[in-house]
């Protein structure tokens, strides 16, 4: 049995006071369960305040990015070790907003994944096709290539420290969600690729989250699918009611 994992990607939202307010309410909520991994990815500036609040609560912390170098003259960047030092257990890498707006390619993402793993940060590795690619029936090809390139040189044992997030780009922040069947099809395909490259046991154990306009209404049907092991949630994670409803549906 794969343990469900629900992660809230706050993106560039939440001042420290807002973060404090939301996390305090989340901690007061009586549904924090033993059976779902809950991860929050605040912006860097709110990591400190969230870290203090979630200590011993079971809620885990993620950073939204790292640079692959260990230290030095890289103005504006932070390393895997710094994120670890700031209390993070996870980092989100390969997110479509990083790929699109900041021109991150598979080779760079691969370097970041390796840097994270070397520093014992778990990785939420995002893959997904654009609308154009889906319409051209290239979804599987695109996802397979992102996986192959992103996981180049990564060992099977490291996959234990990774979660894959399938996030169709056309579903992110658009209010359009993949149907449970569309999502399941790609999740199953991702698992097959992992099996081919890393073996059956790794494929059976790796958790694959769905992301892209997940909300309190659609989460249950998505999470009921056999190969959907959790959700990577953007805008709905900024709201207590919707985030907790999504966690409930993973339970
Ligand atoms: P969204 O974002 O839920 O707002 O669509 C998901 C994501 O980018 O991870």
Tens digit of each residue's pLDDT (9 = 90 or more) over 227-236: 999 999 999 9
**Which DSSP string do the residues of 71-139 spell out, in sequence order?**
SSS-TT--BHHHHHHTT-SEEEES-HHHHHHS---HHHHHHHHHHHHHTT-EEEEEE---HHHHHTT-H
**Ligand 1: residue whose CA is nearest its atom 3:** 234
Mean pLDDT of 103-109: 98
**Ligand 1: residue whose CA is nearest its atom 2:** 234
**Ligand 1: residue whose CA is nearest its atom 6:** 234
Residue 33 has pLDDT above 80, yes or no: no
Closest CA to 65 of 130, 113, 120, 19: 113
Q: Mean of the per-residue pLDDT values for the chain?
A: 96
pLDDT of residue 76: 97
d(CA 101, CA 84): 25
Q: Residues with Cβ within 6 A of ligand 1?
A: 9, 167, 172-173, 211-214, 232-236
- Catalytic residue ranges: 95, 167
Tell me the CA–centroid distance for residue 72 and ligand 1, in Å. Answer: 32
Q: Which of 214, 230, 237 is the pocket-test mutation for ligand 1 (most atoms within 8 Å of CB)?
A: 214
pLDDT of residue 175: 87
pLDDT of residue 1: 84
Report the predicted TM-score, pTM, of the whole model to 2 decimal places: 0.97
């Amino acid at each position: 049995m794969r343990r469900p994992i629900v992660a809230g990607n706050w993106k560039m939202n939440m001042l420290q006071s807002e973060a404090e307010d939301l996390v305090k309410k989340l901690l007061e909520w009586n549904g924090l369960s033993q059976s779902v991994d809950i991860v929050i990815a605040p912006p860097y500036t709110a990591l400190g305040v969230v870290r203090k609040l979630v200590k011993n609560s079971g809620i885990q912390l993620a950073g939204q990015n790292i640079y692959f170098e260990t230290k030095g003259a890289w103005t504006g960047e932070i390393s895997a070790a710094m994120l670890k030092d700031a209390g993070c257990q996870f980092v989100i890498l390969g997110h479509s907003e990083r790929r699109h707006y900041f021109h991150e390619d598979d080779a760079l993402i691969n370097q970041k994944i390796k840097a994270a793993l070397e520093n014992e940060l778990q990785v939420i590795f995002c893959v997904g096709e654009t609308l154009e690619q889906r319409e051209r029936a290239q979804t599987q090809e695109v996802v397979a290539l992102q996986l192959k390139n992103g996981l180049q040189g990564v060992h099977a044992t490291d996959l234990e420290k990774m979660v894959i997030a399938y996030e169709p780009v056309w579903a992110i922040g658009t209010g359009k969600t993949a149907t449970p069947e569309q999502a399941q099809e790609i999740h199953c395909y991702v698992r097959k690729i992992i099996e081919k490259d890393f073996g059956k046991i790794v494929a059976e154990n790796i958790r694959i989250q769905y992301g892209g306009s997940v909300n309190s209404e659609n989460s249950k049907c998505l999470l009921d699918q056999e190969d959907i092991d959790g959700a990577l949630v953007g805008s709905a994670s900024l709201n207590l009611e919707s985030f907790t409803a999504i966690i409930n549906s993973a339970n």
